[in-house]
Chain A
């Protein structure tokens, strides 16, 4: 007995678009192999660090941060690497170290003392990076508790600035989870897992899906100039702040984009995006040194907003497809439209397809106002 119409057979534009967007996000998910690889690598590195006496003394807690923790990862564009960030938080205050860079030295030393990790190590400004040959890298950020602020606040060393900078990835993650759950979460979220168990696109709340779409659009827009692309944490924070609990992905993204345009309009000289759980952490500080990147961001969000409004107003599956191609990639957009069409055909092959009397909208056989579509064979004539 049919009880509810499938999302791809609904009679509203937003529901149909949401079905396509959900399919886009499903395509953007990290595949199982990569996800498992990231998870295993994370566990092994964590174990290795904890097993080193000089690190164990500092009673470290190792936890993921960033998109893997938040559930907003997107498959990188062809040839690009994906990353996994995690924090190695020491129970000691910063006074344990004579200089912030010592915290980086310690992690680097621990990893270099492992023959497998040694050739993979790359020292960065705030973290030690491990470059895996399987096209991903893992950033390990040493951190100390921020004893003044308390709670989950931490400080991380900044080698260039030669001081400790404020952060709060755990506080941020709980804030984000709260924002994402403004609407009903369709899947379970297992907080006990070090890396949250993999959510399918269908299980993700609309906010996470919106962020995946924002990141994909960003990846394509800045494909040839990645150095000035807005960073994920800025996009994620803005989206989470502007999200108002809409169930529709299309409408949530509409409000995030228009809200973002309003924010940049009223921000001078630039928009400041702070970590809501540690106001001393300016997530958008890189715009201070790259004013050109900020101007690009402003132009980019305005254009995306205009494109999104156009998409919501367009009628014609092929016209909508062209717009989706521009935003999320030609091949990807066509693939999801094709899959939606194939799913509708599968319903037809079960003789469960009908059309709404009066409008002619193709839908499922539910209710009295729907006429069944009897089996037929589209034909033609010899040329």
Chain B
């Protein structure tokens, strides 16, 4: 673990780099920094037929970014069912460890994956089937 962090430390991108790139690509995303954590809140509409979602991405330097959908609220297909590819705190699980590292931009990977997740979430609610691939650890 220590070795892994060290490796990240040498190559990881700074907050300034992350915020700069995000603001260039996604104009609705507003960044705030508090206690070494940058939070972006912005809007994504994954398809012209889809809803527009307000999303929040929290990134503590060199940690895995945490992603939430704030509005509209996420609903399962059937009441009580777990929403596909989410953590117990309600945040969205977009990738396996290693697919994103702190040497990569949040704007380049996390946001596109989130848009794609939102698209599949809508299709899943529509059809009852998840077509976006991936693994559920329980399945």
Shortest CB–CB separation between residue B72 and chain A, in angstroms?
8
Which residue of A320, A361, A378 is within 8 Å of B94 (Cβ)? A378
The chain B residue with its CB closest to the CB of A383 is: B138
Which residue of A10, A315, A361 is within 8 Å of B115 (Cβ)? A361
List the one stretch of A22-30, A139-147, A336-344 in contact with chain B: A336-344
Which residue of B99, B114, B118, B120 is within 8 Å of A377 (Cβ)? B99
Contact between chains at B135 and A359 (CB < 8 Å):
no
Let me know if A380 is at the binding interface, CB within 8 A. yes
The chain A residue with its CB closest to the CB of B82 is: A383
Let me know if A34 is at the binding interface, CB within 8 A. no
Which residue of A342, A357, A374 is within 8 Å of B25 (Cβ)? A357
Contact between chains at A362 and B115 (CB < 8 Å):
yes
Contact between chains at A10 and B48 (CB < 8 Å):
yes
Instruction: Find residues 41-65 in chain B having any chain A CB closer than 8 Å to their own CB.
Output: 43-52
**Interfacial chain B residues near A378, Cβ < 8 Å:** 84-85, 93-95, 113, 117, 120, 132-135
Contact between chains at B50 and A316 (CB < 8 Å):
yes
**Interfacial chain A residues near B82, Cβ < 8 Å:** 383
Instruction: Find residues 313-327 in chain A having any chain B CB closer than 8 Å to their own CB.
Output: 315-318, 320-322
Docked Cα-Cα span, A30 to B115, in Å, equals 38
Which residue of A317, A354, A360 is within 8 Å of B123 (Cβ)? A317
**Interfacial chain B residues near A376, Cβ < 8 Å:** 94-96, 99-100, 109, 113, 116, 134
**Interfacial chain B residues near A371, Cβ < 8 Å:** 25, 107-108, 111-112
Shortest CB–CB separation between residue B112 and chain A, in angstroms?
4
Contact between chains at B127 and A321 (CB < 8 Å):
yes
Contact between chains at B112 and A345 (CB < 8 Å):
no
Instruction: Find residues 94-110 in chain B having any chain A CB closer than 8 Å to their own CB.
Output: 94-96, 99-100, 107-109
Which residue of A337, A345, A380 is within 8 Å of B86 (Cβ)? A380
Contact between chains at B25 and A358 (CB < 8 Å):
yes
**Interfacial chain A residues near B135, Cβ < 8 Å:** 377-380
Which residue of A337, A360, A380 is within 8 Å of B44 (Cβ)? A360
Instruction: Find residues 126-173 in chain A having any chain B CB closer than 8 Å to their own CB.
Output: none
Instruction: Find residues 174-228 in chain A having any chain B CB closer than 8 Å to their own CB.
Output: none
Let me know if B66 is at the binding interface, CB within 8 A. no
Docked Cα-Cα span, A372 to B86, in Å, equals 23
Contact between chains at B99 and A334 (CB < 8 Å):
no
Contact between chains at B99 and A360 (CB < 8 Å):
no
Query: A343-383 toward B: CB 8 Å interface, digit per residue (1/0)?
Result: 01100100001110111111000000001111111111111
Contact between chains at B96 and A17 (CB < 8 Å):
no
Q: A380-B138, A383-B138 known; A373 and B116 CB under 8 Å?
A: yes
Name, among B44, B88, B116, B118, the residue most crowded by chain A CB atoms within 10 Å (CB to CB): B116
Let me know if A97 is at the binding interface, CB within 8 A. no
Instruction: Find residues 6-32 in chain B having any chain A CB closer than 8 Å to their own CB.
Output: 25-28
Query: B118-130 toward A: CB 8 Å interface, digit per residue (1/0)?
Result: 1110110111110
Contact between chains at A379 and B28 (CB < 8 Å):
no
Contact between chains at A380 and B84 (CB < 8 Å):
yes
Which residue of A321, A358, A374 is within 8 Å of B26 (Cβ)? A358
Let me know if A12 is at the binding interface, CB within 8 A. yes
Contact between chains at B27 and A317 (CB < 8 Å):
no
Contact between chains at A375 and B45 (CB < 8 Å):
no
**Interfacial chain A residues near B88, Cβ < 8 Å:** 381, 383
**In the complex, the 4 A-B pairs of residues with the closest C-beta atoms, listed nearest first:** A378-B134, A360-B44, A321-B126, A318-B125
Q: What would 13 A/B residue contacts be, using CB atoms closer than 8 Å?
A: A12-B48, A13-B49, A355-B115, A361-B46, A375-B99, A376-B94, A376-B100, A377-B96, A378-B93, A378-B135, A379-B135, A381-B93, A382-B138
